[in-house]
Amino acid sequence: MSFLTGKTALVTGSTSGIGLGIATELAKAGIRIAVHSIPGDKHAEDAVKAVKEAGAPDAKFFAADVSKPDAIHDLIAEVEAWSPIDILVNNAGIQFTAGITDMPDEKWDAIIAINLSASFHTMKAALPLMEKRGYGRIINVASVHGLVASKDKVPYVAAKHGLVGMSKVVALEYAAKGDAEAGGITVNCIAPGFTETPLIEDQIQAAAKRAGGDRDAGIAELLSEKQPSLRMTQTSDLGALAVFLCGHAAQNLTGATIPVDGGWTAQ
């Protein structure tokens, strides 16, 4: 049995896209998966089935609106009652683009609540439980926009920069806690650049059409301004990184933000 076999991960926003990609790779490592999304998500059943087929010894869907602190505390309690949380992946997020003077106040509030405050509340609830068990991994899915900015994304960039900073603080607070043999407690961020998910498929299709139907050429054109590799990251790539961060070899890797962005933030 591997070091991770039988551990339990809660992955927020994990019925599709990056969250599902990470949950699937964790499942392949023998980790039990608490799949999460908003109540009524039509993809929930398929996501649970997918992670079970990938190798999760068990999986269950948990619904919660993570813009609400009370719902988050209920979520953590419900997952803990099902299986103690060893790994917390904060992936849930939303986006809205507009210049600052055109940004609706309610969009600012919602993006900060879901993309930043939710991670504060999940970590605050989960970390004392991890400390008692001597092992814990928190992986916060940030973004290149946690390291650099783009126009028309003021709440998103603010939230992701905040997530990176908050993760460093929590990593320092818990660096010496936990048990070395068990693997300790670490807090890190993954910062994806352009990642191939259903959310940007329309952009890819439009770029492919401009390139005469050549999908790869279209992707290269789409990425040319930002991502030097001219290649999309796959959600499974992010999942593989998450698996490494959860392993014993990463027990002294904490407080880091790891860009997976084809060189975007190296420029």
Active site residues: 156
Close Cβ partners of 166 (under 8 Å, ≥ 6 residues apart):
116, 119, 120, 140
Residue where the block lists tokens 């999986």: 59
Which is nearest to 191 in space by CA: 150, 151, 241?
Answer: 241
What is the rounded CA–CA span in Å between residue 25 and residue 9?
A: 11
Q: 17 vs 71, 169, 172, 236, CA distance in Å?
A: 23, 28, 30, 10
Assigned token pair, 99: 């210049």
Q: Concatenate the DSSP letters of all residues of 214-244 into one string.
A: -HHHHHHHHHTTT-TT--PEEHHHHHHHHHH
